[in-house]
Amino acid sequence: MDTKQRILDEALTLFSEKGYANVYVGEIADRVGIKAPSLYKHYKNKRAIFDAIIDEMNARFAEQAKAMAVNGSDAAADSAIYQQMSEDHLLGIGRQFFLYFLHDDYNRRFRKMLTIEQFADPELAGIYTKLYVDDPMLKTDNVEIMTLHFYAPIYYLLTICDRDPAREPWALETLDAHIKQFNRLYGRKKK
Amino acid sequence: MDTKQRILDEALTLFSEKGYANVYVGEIADRVGIKAPSLYKHYKNKRAIFDAIIDEMNARFAEQAKAMAVNGSDAAADSAIYQQMSEDHLLGIGRQFFLYFLHDDYNRRFRKMLTIEQFADPELAGIYTKLYVDDPMLKTDNVEIMTLHFYAPIYYLLTICDRDPAREPWALETLDAHIKQFNRLYGRKKK
DNA sequence: GTCTATAAGAAGATAGAC
DNA sequence: GTCTATCTTCTTATAGAC
């Protein structure tokens, strides 16, 4: 990875742990293995590093959305989507989503950074809401509440683990129990 | 309100909007109507203001918990608690909880401040988890998932409104729809 | 592109008069 | 308890050599 990208990477790590204001350029430079002034050959100033992270993220998620769009836009089938899935399939989807977002380094750091910075910058609040509210929710027909009932507990468990990673085993148990119960309440297929 | 308390109040407001590091002592002093150095007659340093907020919060919530304990510790009845309630009663509980936490100034500001600072300080993470995970959850018998299904969507809607207050009307509609659906899935009494 | 040296400014905190 | 003046430290950012 080139220096310019490594700066972004280390900066994101630090921002996600301490927040933008608590991270000093010298700290980022240290981690990259250069001195602070060298960093200014790659980025105009500290804010430009932050903005570059946001830009990169927007690009990544746009790409992800494009890939999703292939199979995710069949609105007519939405209302039946949960009933048609087997419990095992639902469990798989839940676990996959949960573990991916929890452990994928980029997602985890970016989510934590947004959590910290959301109230200071309306643009960041908008990005957060888009990623964790608007994008995941199926709003067609009457499935909005069903999706809320499926998704909100998963989101809730995710934020708990972000705060306290030691709770992950409990969260995974709870996640499974949640989805089984969800399937009992909403589902038709039993296996 | 005396100056010492007003400092706490203005500091909490600022911390909840911008985070600890982005708030300057001079800014707090300005809002109180004094100069920064005067502030040091009331608190040893900036951190002491923050700590005093945490202490005051701990005291408030401890008191609140004591009041709750009078009627909230009947574990044996927990498993039936949701079934025995009418839909209107459930709706009332949900709305009351949601609106109180959203609009009570102290709760709102304190929650936002914790959201911002949680990753920088394990103690704050612990407080957040205690307030929004451990305390609200009934862990007795098999009600844990049922409570999760009732509570997680409410918590989720709360965080959305913290980020974007304009979504409150939508959140209230969604809240009602959630609870009605919850009651349909879990409840027995219909009115 | 990286370094050392350093400027420029911000922010926390203290001294001492009133 | 509040003020003005000031100190000190920290942090961003630039200058200029290599």
Would you place residue A190 in the very low, low, confident or very high pLDDT band (cuts 50, 70, 90)?
A: low
pLDDT (tens digit, 9 = 90+) per residue, A38-56?
999 999 999 999 999 999 9
Q: Is B46 on the interface with A (CB under 8 A)?
A: no
Interface test with A, best of B158, B181, B184 (most A CBs within 10 A): B181
Looking at every residue in chain B, the average pLDDT score rounds to 92
Cβ-Cβ contacts under 8 Å between A and B: the total is 103
Residue A77 pLDDT: 65
pLDDT (tens digit, 9 = 90+) per residue, A82-121?
888 899 999 999 999 999 999 999 999 999 999 999 999 9
Residue A79 pLDDT: 67
Interface test with A, best of B146, B150, B159, B182 (most A CBs within 10 A): B159
pLDDT (tens digit, 9 = 90+) per residue, A60-70?
988 888 887 76
Would you place residue A72 in the very low, low, confident or very high pLDDT band (cuts 50, 70, 90)?
A: low
Protein residues closer than 7 Å by CB to strand D: A 23-26, 36-37, 40, 44-47; B 3, 29, 33-38, 41-42
Of B29, B51, B30, nearest in space to B40 by CA: B29
Mean local confidence (pLDDT), B31-52? 98
- Residue A11 distance to chain B (closest CA, Å): 15
Category of B189 on φ-ψ map: left (φ > 0), alpha (ψ -120 to 50) or beta:
beta
pLDDT (tens digit, 9 = 90+) per residue, B74-83?
555 666 788 8
Are the beta carbons of B145 and A178 separated by less than 8 Å? yes
Every domain of chain B and the residues it spans: 1-67, 69-191
The vertex-A13 CA angle with A7 and A14, nearest 5°, equals: 90
Asked if B64 and B110 touch (Cβ cutoff 8 Å), the reply is no
Q: Is A149 on the interface with B (CB under 8 A)?
A: yes
Q: Which nucleotide is nearest to A29 (CA to C1')?
A: C2
Q: What is the DSSP string of chain B?
A: --HHHHHHHHHHHHHHHH-GGG--HHHHHHHHTS-HHHHTTT-SSHHHHHHHHHHHHHHHHHHHHHHHHHHH--HHHHTTTTTTS-HHHHHHHHHHHHHHHHH-HHHHHHHHHHHHHTTT-HHHHHHHHIIIIITT---STTHHHHHHHHHHHHHHHHHHHHH-GGGHHHHHHHHHHHHHHHHHHH-----
Alpha carbons A1 and A9: distance in angstroms, whole number = 10
Domain range B1-67, its CATH number among 3.40.50.300, 1.10.10.60, 3.30.420.40, 3.30.2270.10: 1.10.10.60
Q: Is B185 on the interface with A (CB under 8 A)?
A: yes
A174 Cβ within 7 A of any nucleic strand C atom: no
Q: Which residues 103-132 of B have a C-beta within 8 angstroms of A? A: 112, 115-116, 118-120, 125-126, 128-129
Q: Which nucleotide is nearest to A3 (CA to C1')?
A: C1
Alpha carbons A112 and A10: distance in angstroms, whole number = 14
- Residue A123 distance to chain B (closest CA, Å): 11
Residue B80 pLDDT: 78
Residue B84 pLDDT: 85
Residue B140 pLDDT: 77
Looking at every residue in chain A, the average pLDDT score rounds to 92
In percent, the amount of chain A with pLDDT more than 90 equals 79
Q: Which nucleotide is nearest to B21 (CA to C1')?
A: C11
Residue of B nearest to A164 (CA): B125
Burial A122-132 (b: 16+ CB within 10 A, else e): eebbebbbebb
